[in-house]
């Protein structure tokens, strides 16, 4: 009976921790999606599984989620022996705030559960610090959900470059503009509002000089009323030609970053060094194709209008694909209707490498020996 009771208690705790992690992921989304810091949520549970406090990270220079949650306890004494559930491994370095691992140890918490390992070179190691201090710690809780909630930040830190979202709008037959170059507006108001909402969640918006010359975009993020969002992405212009000073982009509230190059990888490296962790590439076709050909696209957001244009102005240019076997395959994340338009969100599909003859022979030999 004692063993059965222990198993029942463990099952109940597992449910409580899973529920707390789901809540922590939800809380994390209250923080800014842009910037060098990730969105993190934290829930502190009492001995009976009840929520004692919640917290989330509100941006660079503010308390991290664990410290925010600890500060919201009715009494500091409640932390002793409590269970801490946090989306990202507690950090282990001193930046503008102290290490969360040290704060948890000092508070006397009983155990810590987290979703995903911190990939940062300087900030990782919190789990080891907690374990060394005698605090039981377990990672991998609802890891897939946490990964999706902060995927841009994780991608950036792991790859050492900003997460890249590539967007374009086209007619159903893949044209970015009519034969005379006109493109306003291919899609309707709902699609355009969705674009602005996505702009407001990234660090930078990237276009080519050709787009600046042809469309004269402001590159700001605006709401349905036309007013700008509080956060504005940094405007980035790539191309050998400079953007004329009479273009709207120069009126942007953030400083324009111009790169007189076609080397998009070098641009991303420089942006990452400047603290940019996510970029939204809006074109045009030449720039979009350059990012795809360089394998530097993490997500695609494509808006398709129910219209046919024909003509030579395609949404993408040459990608170096000579045959169907070289096609760049995608995995579709979602397909949604925005009024009359279709929004498709996708990401590059993992490359499947056919097994070599040597690998096949080795596997066959292993099967034979095991039987």
Query: Each residue of 92-108: pLDDT tens digit?
Result: 887 777 799 999 999 99
Residue 369 assigned to a binding site? no
Residue 314 assigned to a binding site? no
Residue 347 assigned to a binding site? no
67, 57 contact by CB (below 8 A) = no
66 classed as catalytic: yes
Tell me the two tokens of residue 270: 């420089």
84, 111 contact by CB (below 8 A) = yes
> Tell me, what's the pLDDT at 97?
72
Residue 10 assigned to a binding site? no
Instruction: Report the 10 Å Cβ neighbour count for 118.
Output: 24
Domain spanning 2-156: CATH 3.40.50.2300: no
Residue 87 assigned to a binding site? no
DSSP-assigned beta bridge partners for residue 132: none
> Tell me, what's the pLDDT at 354?
55
Query: Each residue of 300-312: pLDDT tens digit?
Result: 999 999 999 999 9
Spell out the CATH class of 161-348.
alpha beta
> Tell me, what's the pLDDT at 370?
37
The catalytically annotated residue of 54, 66, 89, 111 is 66
> Tell me, what's the pLDDT at 363?
41
> Tell me, what's the pLDDT at 2?
66
Residue 199 assigned to a binding site? yes
CA angle 32, 34, 39 (to 5 degrees): 50
pTM as predicted: 0.87
Spell out the domain ranges in the chain: 2-156, 161-348
Residue 290 assigned to a binding site? yes
Residue 277 assigned to a binding site? no
Terminal Cα distance for the chain, rounded: 42
* Rg of the chain in Å (alpha carbons): 25
> Is 161-348 in the same CATH topology as 2-156?
no
pLDDT < 70: residue spans in the chain: 1-2, 351-371
In DSSP notation, 72-97 reads TSSSGGGGTT-EEEEEEPPP-S-SSS
- As a dihedral over the C-alpha atoms of residue 280, residue 25, residue 142, residue 299, rounded to 10 degrees, the angle is -10
């Amino acid at each position: 009976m004692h063993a059965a009771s222990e198993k029942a208690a463990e099952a109940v705790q597992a449910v409580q921790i899973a529920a707390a992690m789901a809540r922590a992921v939800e809380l994390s989304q209250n923080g800014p999606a842009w910037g060098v810091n990730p969105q993190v949520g934290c829930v502190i549970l009492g001995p009976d599984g009840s929520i004692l406090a919640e917290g989330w990270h509100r941006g660079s220079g503010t308390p991290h989620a664990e410290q925010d949650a600890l500060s919201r306890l009715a009494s500091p004494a409640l932390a002793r022996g409590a269970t801490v559930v946090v989306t990202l491994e507690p950090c282990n370095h001193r930046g503008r705030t102290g290490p969360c691992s040290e704060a948890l140890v000092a508070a006397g918490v009983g155990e810590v559960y987290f979703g995903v390992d911190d990939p940062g070179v300087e900030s990782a190691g919190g789990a080891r610090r907690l374990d060394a201090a005698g605090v039981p710690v377990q990672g991998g809780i609802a890891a897939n959900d946490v990964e999706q909630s902060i995927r841009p930040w994780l991608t950036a830190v792991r790859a050492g470059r900003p997460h890249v979202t590539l967007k374009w709008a086209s007619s159903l037959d893949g044209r970015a503009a009519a034969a005379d170059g006109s493109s306003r507006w291919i899609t309707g108001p709902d699609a355009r509002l969705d674009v602005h909402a996505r702009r407001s969640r990234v660090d930078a918006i990237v276009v080519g000089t050709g787009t600046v010359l042809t469309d004269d975009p402001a590159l700001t993020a605006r709401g349905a009323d036309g007013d700008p969002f509080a956060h504005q992405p940094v405007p980035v212009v790539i191309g050998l030609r400079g953007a004329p000073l009479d273009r709207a982009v120069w009126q942007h509230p953030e400083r324009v970053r111009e790169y007189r190059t076609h080397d998009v990888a070098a641009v991303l490296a420089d942006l990452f060094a400047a603290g940019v962790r996510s970029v939204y590439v809006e074109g045009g076709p030449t720039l979009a194709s350059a990012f795809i050909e360089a394998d530097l696209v993490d997500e695609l957001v494509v808006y398709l209008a129910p219209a046919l244009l024909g003509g030579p102005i395609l949404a993408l240019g040459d990608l170096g694909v000579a045959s169907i076997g070289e096609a760049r395959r995608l995995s579709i994340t979602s397909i949604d209707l925005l009024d009359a338009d279709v929004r498709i969100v996708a990401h590059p599909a993992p490359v499947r490498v056919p097994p070599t003859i040597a690998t096949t022979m080795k596997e066959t030999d292993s099967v034979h020996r095991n039987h």
